[in-house]
Structure 1
């Protein structure tokens, strides 16, 4: 089995876990989202710290918190991912998983827009077309349902900004995520203490709920580790296409498992989004193929130059 194929399997595994996670969080619908997020943070920190301890890399956490600018970036990234996690858990509990899946469909397109706005990256006609279709989908839902799909927009924007902030962190993926969830851990611990101090805490009230809360840590950590493994072994264009497994499975969970309404307006909006995804994916794959052809051509020219006789060694 090649490294690339292993990377693809890891990516599929990560996206499948993320895509089916609404089924898991639906089982915790009786627990308030802030309490769920507090436990998710606590058990994730414990698990990631254990992974780093086994690898002998715990000291890297202290190193990561050196420098005011880096700490500030970590704090902002942590805020973005916390907002993303909270809104996603809330969407599942209040029956708005369809909007959540739409948000994760929009996320890659939002990333392209943030790259243009933040880093001055150039966008092609196909990419601008995909962004325009995503905007049209949001407008369709806003006009048709009479309300802006805030859940979709918050999820897409927070994750896109999170990705942009991560570009400025020279940290490994496990260390980076550990620092991000560690920096606000005191707040979540205080919140848990408040819940239990007021007799509202759910941990310890039943083994099923307690186990589900504990397992929210591995549910967070495992797909991130798989994603990091895949990102180092698979081309980014392939990663970009495979990640749509996540919102597709979320969409099926919402409509088929939870029976959430899928109106005509939803159908039009999702048709626009799926068209945008197809254009975006095709453009990404085309750019990747063109880059590889250019690289191969450059290597061929370089080899010809090295193998050709120099002027000094040419015979008269």
Structure 2
């Protein structure tokens, strides 16, 4: 399967996170809900590794100091993102919060250019600019 199919599946699942999260956060502390969500994700992903026969690879990752540093940083950034997002959708409308959250696309591309040395075509840059403008329009219309 192509990376594109996985990216589209990720977008669909992320959209469902917003909807299910908004419904689940009704009269519930967002930090507690995020913690429960993280535990569920861990259990689910451990099941995925078990089905794939890859549980033994956990030790290999744990001893790789560079990999672990960046996995830990990614985990902390992800946890903070979830906490902020769940508070935002609890207090605001998903239709307003989700587009602003997608500034992460613009930021991720910028960080990839700056820190990973990735390149962006002219049209790729135009697309990222459109995302930024779309977020701005959505935020101002709110």
Pick the TM interval, shorter chain. 0.7 to 0.9
Count, aligned residues: 139
Partner of 2:114: 117
Distance (whole Å) between structure 1 residues aligned to residue 90 and residue 7 of structure 2: 27
Q: How many Å apart are 1:110 and its aligned residue?
A: 2.7
Name the CA shift for 1:128/1:11 in 2 (closer, same or farther; >3 Å): closer
Once the two structures are superposed, residues 151-185 of structure 1 have per-residue CA deviations (whole angstroms, 9 ceiling, x without a partner) of: xxxxxxxxxxxxxxxxxxxxxxxxxxxxxxxxxxx
Q: In the alignment, what sits opposite 1:103?
A: 101
Residues 21 and 86 in structure 2, CA contact (< 8 A), matched pair in contact too:
yes
Aligned-partner Cα distance in 1 for 2:84–2:114: 24
Deviation for aligned residue 1:12: 5.0
- CA–CA distance in structure 1, aligned partners of residues 123 and 48 of structure 2: 41
Change (3 A) 1:42 1:135: closer
Native 8 Å contact 2:61 2:67 kept in 1 = yes
Q: TM-score, normalised by structure 2?
A: 0.75
Name the SS for the 1:42 alignment partner: helix
Tell me the CA shift for residue 13 of structure 1: 4.9
Q: What is the aligned partner in structure 2 of residue 165 from structure 1?
A: none
| Higher relative contact order (Cα pairs below 8 Å, separated by 6+ residues) | 1
Contact 2:30 2:86 in 1 (8 A): yes
Partner of 2:42: helix, strand, or coil?
helix
How far the C-alpha of 1:121 sits from its partner, in A, is 2.8
Match for residue 18 of structure 1 among 7, 10, 14: 14
1:13/1:117 CA distance change after superposition, 3 Å: closer
Unaligned ranges ≥5, structure 1:
142-261, 268-316
CA RMSD, aligned part only?
3.0
Match of 2:87?
Answer: 90
Give the structure 2 partner of residue 70 of structure 1: 67
Question: 2:78 — aligned with what?
Answer: 81
Alignment of 1:286-301 (within 5 A): none
The aligned residue for residue 266 of structure 1 is: 141
Q: Secondary structure at the match of 2:119?
A: coil
Residue aligning to 2:38: 41
Alignment of 1:1-316 (within 5 A): 8=5, 12-27=8-23, 28-97=25-94, 98-104=96-102, 106-135=103-132, 265-266=140-141
**Normalising by the residue count of structure 1, what TM-score does the alignment of the two structures yield?**
0.38
Larger Rg: 1
Question: Following TM superposition, by how much is the alpha carbon of 1:132 offset from its aligned partner in structure 2, in angstroms?
Answer: 4.4
Cα distance change of structure 1 residues 58 and 95 upon mapping to structure 2, 3 Å threshold: same
**53 and 123 in structure 1: CA distance in 2 versus 1, 3 angstrom threshold:** closer
Q: Alpha-carbon deviation of 1:83?
A: 1.6
SS of structure 2 residue aligned to 1:18: helix
